[in-house]
Amino acid sequence: MTTGEHTMADAAAMRRALELAVRGPARGVNPRVGCVILSPHGDVLAEGWHRGAGTAHAEVDALAKLAPGAAEGATAVVTLEPCNHTGRTGPCAVALIDAGIGRVVYAVADPGEHSAGGAERLREAGVAVEAGVLGAEVEAMLDDWLFAARHHRPRVTVKWASSLDGRAAASDGSSQWITGPAARADVHRRRAAADAIAVGTGTVLADDPALTARDAGGGLVDEQPVPVVFGRRPVPAGAAVTRHPHAAVLLEGADLAADLHELQRRGIRSLFVEGGPTLASAFLAAGLADEVLVYLAPALLGGPRLAVGDLGISTITGARRLDFAAVERLGDDLLVVAHPRPTEGN
């Protein structure tokens, strides 16, 4: 079989490997990976998946279910390129070679600085390697993890709610509630889907947010985003965020790129930036917002409390242009989803 060819058995096994992969934890440093080992005749010999940091990788999990020598000449079908480094566990590429695997099929290349290179190592050992089988499906499943691994930071969503004239609060500072219950429920759904939720210390001091995700009945959802607070001012000992199910991550915010790298190092793949205007503006000005969510209420407030502050733009030609991805009606309000356009060189 030449490079670029794969069989129906390969595709079927990759779909099964994808089903196995999603059994693993959706959050954390490690990706979700599944593996199916096929005999030379295409029969399934073993299956495995990665159960989280410190546990056997999918390939090793599958190999462990086989008797010595049973993998000789077999095909390993894996959702992610077998790793080529030693961390808490050894290199999967070496484990496959030592087991006598004759062929490896994978969907997506490993983008890790230290873990990539498994395919090359396998080829050097005489193992046939086929890449890209069901690549789009596996890319979609590993979306947040791949983004974080490739960019060395979480994917950042910046959200705000405002009146139709762009105000986040009335002149006296009151802001609850600009938008209605349907919009607020949508925010909680998106909070629950994020690894972490961020505000600035100004918002903590002014609004005392809990930074939790809640269901329709007001109860805490099972999987809570990690609270992140940016700023130099101390968080009061009795602040609501101190009672969050997860300990808050405190970052100064002076170097957002470095702070995001630290969050990625901690296993945070997606960050939901909620406020306030100072923090939202900082992410936008730094070009670190990958998605913008604007909840628009059919109301006018006027006054100085803008949803977004100074972005360092002095002329219309310097405007940060975005592309609309979606517009959705939520009760009386509108949700506008937009993605910043890539700048030259990106």
Q: Of 177, 183, 148, which Cα lies nearest the Cα of 261? A: 148
Q: Please, are residues 13 and 39 in contact by the beta-carbon 8 Å criterion?
A: no
Cα–Cα distance, 212 to 161 (Å, whole number): 17
The number of beta carbons lying within 10 Å of the beta carbon of residue 314 is 8
Q: Report pLDDT for 303.
A: 87
Q: Please, are residues 73 and 102 in contact by the beta-carbon 8 Å criterion?
A: yes
Assigned token pair, 235: 């968080």
pLDDT tens, residue by residue, 75-103: 999 999 999 877 667 789 999 999 999 99
Q: Is the pLDDT of residue 337 over 90?
A: yes
Q: Please, are residues 296 and 344 in contact by the beta-carbon 8 Å criterion?
A: no
Assigned token pair, 63: 């190999």
> Among the listed ranges 116-120, 122-126, 134-138, 336-340, which one has the minimum average pLDDT value?
116-120
Task: Tell me the whole-structure pTM to 2 decimals.
Answer: 0.86
Q: Report pLDDT for 2.
A: 36
Confidence at 34, pLDDT banded by 50, 70, 90: very high
- The set of residues, in sequence order, having a beta carbon less than 8 Å from that of 222 and lying 6+ positions away, is none
> Among the listed ranges 108-112, 170-174, 246-250, 314-318, which one has the minimum average pLDDT value?
170-174
Confidence at 4, pLDDT banded by 50, 70, 90: very low
Confidence at 158, pLDDT banded by 50, 70, 90: very high
Mean confidence (pLDDT) of the chain: 91
Active site residues per annotation: 59
Q: Report pLDDT for 345.
A: 41
Show the domains of the chain with their CATH numbers.
Answer: 8-148 (3.40.140.10), 152-340 (3.40.430.10)
Cα–Cα distance, 60 to 63 (Å, whole number): 5
Q: What angle do CA 261, 87, 266 make, to 5 degrees?
A: 25
Q: Report pLDDT for 6.
A: 65
Cα–Cα distance, 2 to 8 (Å, whole number): 15
Q: Is the pLDDT of residue 175 over 80?
A: no
Confidence at 344, pLDDT banded by 50, 70, 90: very low
Cα–Cα distance, 286 to 284 (Å, whole number): 5
